[in-house]
Amino acid sequence: MEDKTVILKTLVGSRAHKLNAEDADYDYRGVYILPTTKVLSLGYNYKGSSFIEGDIDNTSYELGHFLHLALKCNPSILEVFKAPVIESNELGKELIELFPYVWNKQDAFNAFTGYGNNQRKKMLNHEHMESGRWQKYAVAYLRTVYNLCQLFAKGTFSLEVTNENFKDKLLSLKEKDTAWRPGEIIDMAEDYIQNAKDLMEDVVQTPDPQKVNEFLLKARQLYWGDFEDTKTD
């Protein structure tokens, strides 16, 4: 059996958001699974993710680590469930269907607003302000808290920005000589966060970690591997 098997590959970034310039890079995020014999072997150095950076950015996560982060409602991980699929096998398709069972409202609120605040700090970074990169982080900041509102309102969210009013705001923000200022971005984001708090009161969805774990155990059985796999490191 190969060292790792890709079960899902998705398109993320500005091209998935439909906010991209024609020459924009391609960003991919996916999930792979290692042979179970390798994961369980004595002394094996388990790495939960891999990242390749360049004109094409490709980030991927080992299934066990991916599900662990999904249950914590990591926004970058939850995006994979909703992103355009580039490549998938049957296990990958089953993984996508787990979305309703991995998230809960409190962890989602904490994780999305935490990620948003991280983008806010980058937006306000002096070097980013000087270079003009602050706009990239401002877009990510707004889009993250907007997705949180979608999640609480509909039980799902879309990577593609389909609301024309919101899309126009983000596109104008990306312009080189944008009229937007950081303070306006913060005010807008705070409005979305307050909206998320209001919506949160009516969210009744609950996760099902047992169902998620059953899926992982099934996957580990399917990709058990051979003893020889443990001798390759």
> Domain map of the chain by residue range?
5-102+208-231, 105-200
What is the per-residue pLDDT for 226? 67
Q: Is 58 helix (H, G, I), strand (E, B) or coil?
A: strand
* Residue 144 token pair: 């993250």
Name residue 121's beta-bridge partners. Answer: none
What is the per-residue pLDDT for 19? 97
Q: How far apart (Å, rounded) are the C-alpha atoms in residues 148 and 79? A: 11
Q: How far apart (Å, rounded) are the C-alpha atoms in residues 142 and 131? A: 20
| pLDDT tens for each residue of 196-222 | 999 999 999 999 999 999 999 999 999
CATH placement of domain 5-102+208-231: 3.30.460
Average pLDDT of the chain, as a whole number:
94
Confidence of residue 52 (pLDDT cuts 50, 70, 90): confident
Q: Do residues 199 and 155 touch, judged by C-beta distance below 8 A?
A: no
Write phi, then psi, for 9 (nearest 5 degrees). Answer: -135, 130
* Residue 162 token pair: 């389909």
* 213: number of Cβ within 10 Å: 12
Between 106 and 55, where is the model more confident? 106
- Whether 55 shows a pLDDT value over 90: the answer reads no
What is the per-residue pLDDT for 53? 76
